[in-house]
Structure 1
Amino acid sequence: MSVNFCSSCGHAMENRLVDGVERRACTSCTWVHWGNYSVGVGALVVKDDKVLLVRRAQEPGKGNWTNPGGYIEQLEPIEQTIVREVLEEANVQAKVKRVVALRDQPRAIHNIYIAFEMEYVDGEPQPDGFEVDAAGFFSLEEMRTMQVANFTQWLVNIALNGNGTGLEPDLEPIVNLPGYGLFKIS
């Protein structure tokens, strides 16, 4: 889908070479459409050597078991997004420990997916009845008989077998950066 009108001033857009790439640019002001992007997040919540999974009730992937997750809202810090998604989809409270995986999927809407290792806090898994129709903690043995999505299989392996330090939230950066979500190696 082409962007035909400027999001800033409403004037017509044209194709223009910007930074060596043909992009849609406003004919009246300086606004440039840099592309279509989405940022997704996923939770890897482990309790008693079992991983929290939800079964998708909607397409894409209806019927597949996946880790809880979703997309960030425009003004929502990413750490709040993943905590919210786990609570909404599975009724489980969890807190962010670290970033453990990243998927880059260039396509019409370029998707970045960030997977978080999360600490289980409280709650018994219950599906939201809308996005997911089942939820629970499952062992690798139990998952062998389930329809677990391929990408989720990769993430579960990281959750149960990963041994790196990942990126942890930087709660005390060396400089004050209000509004930033900062993660660092420890």
Structure 2
Amino acid sequence: MEANFCLKCGSALAEIDIDGTPRKACAGEGCGFIHWGNYSIGVGALVMKEGKVLLVRRAQEPGKGFWTNPGGYIEQLEPIQETIKREVYEETGIVAEATRIVALRDQPRGIHNVYLAFAMTYASGDPKADGVEVDEAGFFSLEEMETMQVATLTRWLVDIALSNNGNGLHADHNPIVPLNGQGLFRI
């Protein structure tokens, strides 16, 4: 998707050079708006229970029919840890808590996508598909996944989940300086 009009005043955007990068900026007098690009942030869950990983089968495109880890996109004003909890619950009925970020995928394209995978601690619930985004959900072993149509990114993430070496970025709930309203993660 390409921006053609100013989000502040509605005037046409014109291409200008900012530090060697072409950007769209407002041509309206005195507005000053710069469109920095199109971005999306996705999250994925790696929920383990008894040595098995929670997977869902996609009922919609993209990836209809493939098994993936639960996930979705953050909402504008939603903390990322709440996003992943919500997405897991909405898709599967499972309650889980995010413990750390264990993987990041950077996918530059028309809408630049950054995807963060969270290790999560299972709390409660039995997997039940939402019937809209996913049509099946369950905990599966690596052996069971061998006969399933598992998406390639999910295969990579399952390897990370099963290696479970404890590394990753953990939420910093007590930073050395107050940074209210910011999600902070550290090793």
2:162 counterpart letter in structure 1: L
**What is the distance in 2 between the residues matched to 1:22 and 1:164?**
42
- SS of the residue 2:5 aligns to: coil
Pair 1:19 & 2:14 matched: no
Q: Deviations over 1:55-75 (max 9, x none)?
A: 000000000000000000011
- SS of the residue 1:44 aligns to: strand
Deviates more, 1:101-110 or 1:18-27: 18-27
User: Normalization by structure 2: what TM-score?
Assistant: 0.97
- SS of the residue 2:173 aligns to: coil
**What is the distance in 2 between the residues matched to 1:2 and 1:161?**
40
Match of 2:32 in 1: 30
Structure 1 position 162, deviation (Å): 3.8
Gaps of at least 5 residues in structure 1 are none
1:174 counterpart letter in structure 2: I
Match of 2:104 in 1: 102
Structure 1 position 164, deviation (Å): 4.8
**What is the distance in 2 between the residues matched to 1:159 and 1:72?**
22
Equivalent runs, 1:32-181 vs 2, <5 Å: 32-181=34-183
Q: Deviations over 1:59-104 (max 9, x none)?
A: 0000000000000001111000000000000100000110000000
**What is the distance in 1 between the residues matched to 2:57 and 2:148?**
10
- SS of the residue 2:180 aligns to: coil
**Cα RMSD, aligned residues only:** 0.8
User: Normalization by structure 1: what TM-score?
Assistant: 0.97
Number of residue pairs matched by the alignment: 185
**What is the distance in 1 between the residues matched to 2:131 and 2:139?**
17
Deviates more, 1:14-23 or 1:126-135: 14-23
1:67 counterpart letter in structure 2: N
2:4 counterpart letter in structure 1: N
**What is the distance in 2 between the residues matched to 1:2 and 1:91?**
37
